Amino acid sequence: MDLKTELTRRLDEALGKYLQAEGADRPEGLAAGIEVPRNREHGDYATNVAMQLARLVKRSPRQVAQEFLTHFDGAGLVGETSIDGPGFINFRLAADATAAVLRRIVSEGAEFGKSRRGAGTRVLVEFVSANPTGPLHIGHARNAVVGDTVARLYEAVGYDVSREYYYNNAGVQMRVLGTTLRLRVDELVGRPVEWPESYYRGSYMIDIARRLIDEVGADQAVDRDDDFYTKYAAGEIIKTIEADLEAMDIGFDNWFLESGIYERGEVERTLDEMRARGAIYEEDGAVWFRATQFGDTRDRVVVKGDGTYTYLTPDIAYNQDKYGRGYDEVVTVLGADHHGQVPSLLAAAEALGHPKETLHYVIYQMVTLLKDGVALKLSTRSGEFITFKEMIDELGAGVVRYFFSMRSPDAQMTFDWGLAKDTSMDNPVYYVQYAHARCCSLMKKAQEEGCPYGGIDAADGTSRADLALLALPAEQAILRALGRLPEAIDTAARELAPHQVCNYLQEVAQLFHNFFTQGNNDPSLRIIQTDKPALTQARLAMIDALRTVLANALAVLGIEAMDRM
């Protein structure tokens, strides 16, 4: 059990004792929840339970806080409590409790930070889902990284996760793609070509046309129907997309064609189900979804007067298909331009009998690329973009993954190419990676200086006396931070927020780098002190746990920890 969970349990026990002493029943929703104070000087955790109780017992929150603490048992877990502001109760963990974290990290190794909270629950994460009209570019990269990392977070807390790529293999964009390929083939065989205003100008279409001619010959490559050109171009682009994603260690369990939901009659079956549930009606020649009954701002047309579906209808059917395949929760990663669809899709899911809390949308903002001091506009149609592959080749998969994970998906993002290439401590991923490499270097240095790390048992013998030497404020701060990895991963998974893990990594790396730097100026703070073997072993135990935690958190982001840099 992690420290936060244990503290929460003890607070809940104290709450029960307090209410019993007051002769009061426990109101619905009353809980002794805890949070990390913004100002860490106040403590490691805080609760506002006294302010909640004050309304019940009609006394001041500060008085209630003092009374509440008489029922709280912090033995072996909490070293210090304080009451702050209007009645917040702050807790600082005991040194013994933080040192015990090292044993748990050693015991669990690569599994430390993970949980089985979601065990038995199947979740489908759909992401990327770009139509195959060109190679993935930097805008798609954010979707890919966010989606895959969300899937990894679900896996880290025990869910059974499947990844899915959905794409439209018909429609206007795909017809334009087929037309573009036909014209590129004509151009390469010497036929006169008149280019329409709307076509895909990227050189990748010339490459695809050349491959087609090489495969079937010039005579067979010309004068084919548009459907042939569309399917061939889409197939070649999908191969490129799949290869680029594999370079980032991103794979899919299923590639889902939009045409499938029409071919299998799923759209009509979904509409029939909505009719049976009384969720749709006809008016003015159109078919409407009673979306306002399920929290939307207005009712939505699902079948237009001419009998065609609106953009919303196949998406409703697609979500229904996901639930029909046995998934308990469904996650979709979408660009900000789709934000307006979300309330309607949530309403439709509820109308079809699925709780809204099982359908999640991660909305990410578009990316501005800053390269050589110039902001670049991305356009697949014009062919002016930097591909996903170019990013990986020049920056490295780990850097790309970290940069797209470290900002909240709903925040605007400028991808600074120069910073991503930088190999100084200004680069946030370098800063974290260097902390892990520095830990590895210290372990090697200890070996070279004749005081190799002997393991957690050798560090403290048969008691915890030597680990108790890790009593400096800076050491305690590191130990407390190490113990919060399970909490950081769980919070990021609950909030579908990969950047929470990056924030955690930056905090841990900063605590370590600061401590290491202070040792350069103060010999007593140095990690390796050959004349103090007990202290050295205790600090090496901390360093060993630190590199495990850094590696585990990076793994959740899909990034390999570096042993040296």
Which tokens in the block code for residue 11?
Answer: 């607070």
376 forms beta bridges with 369
Averaged pLDDT for residues 220-235:
94
Place of tokens 């998406």: 315
Q: Are strands 413-416 and 367-371 parallel, antiparallel or unpaired?
A: parallel
What per-residue confidence (pLDDT) applies to 465? 43
462 pLDDT tier (thresholds 50, 70, 90)? very low
- 268 pLDDT tier (thresholds 50, 70, 90): very high
Its CATH class, for the domain covering 424-556, is mainly alpha
Q: Rounded CA gap, 12 and 35, in Å?
A: 14
* Residue 461, Ramachandran bin (φ over 0: left; ψ between -120 and 50: alpha; else beta): left
Q: Does residue 168 contact residue 358 with C-beta atoms inside 8 Å?
A: no
Is residue 547 within 8 Å of residue 485, measured between CB atoms?
A: no
Q: Which residue has the tokens 């005991």?
A: 94
Give the neighbor-by-neighbor strand order of the sheet with 359-364. 254-257, 160-167, 122-126, 329-335, 359-364
CA distance 547 to 176: 51
Which CATH code is given to the segment(s) 122-168+252-364?
A: 3.40.50.620
DSSP structure string for 379-393: BTTTTB--BHHHHHH
Strands (E), 185-343: 254-257, 280-283, 286-289, 300-303, 329-335
Q: How much is the pLDDT for 113?
A: 97
Q: Give residue 460's pLDDT.
A: 60
| Overall residue count recorded for the chain in this entry | 565
Secondary structure (3-state) at 28: coil
CA distances from 524 to 7, 124, 391, 464, 515 (A): 33, 52, 44, 21, 11
CATH of domain 3-93: 3.30.1360.70
- When pLDDT is cut at 50, 70 and 90, the band that residue 374 belongs to is confident
pLDDT in the model for residue 379: 53
Higher pLDDT, 430 or 98: 430
Residue matched to tokens 């369990």: 253
pLDDT in tens, 117-173: 999 999 999 999 999 998 888 889 999 999 999 999 999 999 999 999 999 887 888
> Is there a contact between 259 and 315 (Cβ–Cβ < 8 Å)?
no
Read off the tokens for 258: 């939009």
What order of strands is seen across the sheet that includes strand 367-371?
374-376, 367-371, 413-416
| 226 φ, ψ (degrees, to nearest 5) | -60, -35
Q: Are 287 and 274 spatial neighbours (Cβ–Cβ below 8 Å)?
A: no
Whole-number mean pLDDT of the chain? 92
Q: Where are the domains of the chain?
A: 3-93, 122-168+252-364, 172-247, 424-556
Digit-coded pLDDT (tens) for 291-344: 999 999 999 999 999 999 999 999 999 999 999 999 999 999 999 999 999 999
CA angle, 465 then 467 then 471, to 5° = 100
Helix (H) or strand (E) holding 148: helix 138-156
Please compute, for residue 290, the number of CA atoms within 13 A of its CA located in the half-sphere on the CB side: 14
Judged by DSSP in three states, 202 sits in coil
Answer yes or no: is pLDDT of 188 > 60: yes
Tokens of 139: 């805008």
- Give 272-292 pLDDT, tens digit per residue: 999 999 999 999 999 999 999
Mean local confidence (pLDDT), 177-182:
96
Residues 326 and 352: beta-carbon distance below 8 Å: no
Among candidates 117, 126, 497, 119, which has minimal Cα distance to 323?
A: 126
